[in-house]
Structure 1
Amino acid sequence: MVLFVWGGGQTVVLITAIVLDPADLSLDSYQRALVVPVFALLLSVPSIPLVERFGRLTLLRVAGAVSTAGCGIIAAFYFLPSGERAHLGWMVMLGAVVVVLPYVCIVGPISFSYANELLPNKTRALGANMVIMSINFSTFILLKVYPDLQAAVGLGGAFVLHAGVSVVQILFAIFCLPETRGMTLEQIQHLFKGVESRAALPVYAEEEAAVPTEDENEEQGAATPVAAIN
């Protein structure tokens, strides 16, 4: 959920007017603040089948790559000399759209899908509240530190940071998350119970497998030739 907040997409939605301020748009600050959220709303409808059609891990890797590219476009714009930005306002607009696209269509739906799937049944309600609390806390920290972050490294440097978080998202999807597409909640729970039991008792599991069961002893006795017994 920290990656969900700091990947750049939510930042663009929250401070759209600031990000798009250099863009040559015939809009006031209020209208600029609505541009990306409206675009995100329109994108959320056709993206519904994506999570079920493709694997979650594949989509998260693609989303991280797209978000990194979008953050890079915005950062590149703000690293340009101020005199050149007036003619390249489309860059920041393009970068904002590219960043919001994976955030709305992929990262958001999959994050909440994992939250529903991986939380145990007995603590799902409590876990869901903790997930929402963690998102709100991360959002609060993001907005609290952003003025100081902007003053220190500028919006270009801030979006370099967001690009780095998007790269971490790719690595996180490769090495830390399981693929749960097409599995029921019961199958997911059995999957993780099996992993936990194997991790907790590896030696005993091997010893138990090596010791023949009572049924196996009976089968071996039935298969033993009479001459051998004599």
Structure 2
Amino acid sequence: MVLFAWCGGFTVLLITAFVLAPVRLPLSEYQRAMLPAALATLVCVPSGIIIERYGRLPVLRLGGALSAIGCATIAAYFFLAAESQERLGWIVLTGAALTQVAFVGMIANVTFNFAIELLPNKTRTLGANIALAEINFCTFVLMKMYPVIKGAIGLGGGFIIHMLASLCQVLFATFCLKETKGLSLEQIQHLFRSADKES
């Protein structure tokens, strides 16, 4: 859940106006803020179909990789010289679109699938509430720290942090999670119980 909040897509969603400020779009600030929601609307349903077809882990890895590329693209823009930034605002838009496709279409869907599937039946309600509380706490910490991050290392440095969190997510999905595609909830619980006994 910590990686979910820090992967970059959530940040673009929360501070869209700051991230997209350099892009010369014929849109008001309100319309710019609506861009991630509009993109999310287009991406959500097809991504669910992709997750069911290819499995959770491949999609989570791909989402982390796309998020890292998107964050690196945004960070690269903020490290350009001022005269280059004026011409190349589309770079930020491209990076923001990549992070949103990765976040809304892949990372968020798989995260909430796992949150539901991995919790035992008798503690599912409490566990889901704890997971949501963790996401909200991480979001609070992220937003509280962002002025400090922006002041210390700028938006470019902040998105390097998000890129690293996205790469950590790829490693986490590769080495720490098990595929649950096609398994019943009972099989998933048995899978993780046997993993605990082995460790």
Compute the TM-score of the two structures, normalised by the length of structure 2: 0.96
Aligned 1:135-154 pairs, distance under 5 A: 135-154=135-154
Is the alpha carbon distance of 1:107 and 1:197 closer, same or farther for their aligned partners in structure 2, counting shifts above 3 Å? same
2:89 aligns with: 89
**Alignment deviations for residues 131-150 of structure 1 (CA, whole Å, 9 cap, x no partner):** 00000000111111101110
1:77 aligns with: 77
1:166 aligns with: 166
CA distance in structure 2 between the partners assigned to 1:146 and 1:198 by the alignment: 41
1:25 aligns with: 25
Matched position secondary structure for 1:179:
coil
The Cα RMSD (Å) is 1.1
Choose 1 or 2 for highest CA Rg: 1
Aligned-pair identity in percent equals 50
The amino acid of 2:19's aligned partner reads: V
**Alignment deviations for residues 124-180 of structure 1 (CA, whole Å, 9 cap, x no partner):** 110000000000000111111101110110000000000000100010011111111
CA distance in structure 1 between the partners assigned to 2:198 and 2:37 by the alignment: 46
**Alignment deviations for residues 71-102 of structure 1 (CA, whole Å, 9 cap, x no partner):** 11100000001121111011000110011101
* 1:192 shift after superposition: 2.2
* 1:66 shift after superposition: 0.8
* 1:194 shift after superposition: 2.6
The amino acid of 2:96's aligned partner reads: A
Q: Which has the higher contact order (CA 8 A, sep 6+)?
A: 2
Structure 1 stretches of 5 or more lacking a match? Answer: 200-230
Aligned 1:3-152 pairs, distance under 5 A: 3-152=3-152
How many correspondences in the alignment? 199
Is the alpha carbon distance of 1:33 and 1:192 closer, same or farther for their aligned partners in structure 2, counting shifts above 3 Å? same
Matched position secondary structure for 1:49:
helix
Q: Does 1:177 align with 2:177?
A: yes
**Alignment deviations for residues 44-73 of structure 1 (CA, whole Å, 9 cap, x no partner):** 122220111012111111111111111111
The amino acid of 2:7's aligned partner reads: G
Matched position secondary structure for 1:47:
helix
1:207 aligns with: none
The amino acid of 1:188's aligned partner reads: I
Structure 2 stretches of 5 or more lacking a match? Answer: none
CA distance in structure 2 between the partners assigned to 1:42 and 1:7 by the alignment: 21
The amino acid of 1:78's aligned partner reads: F
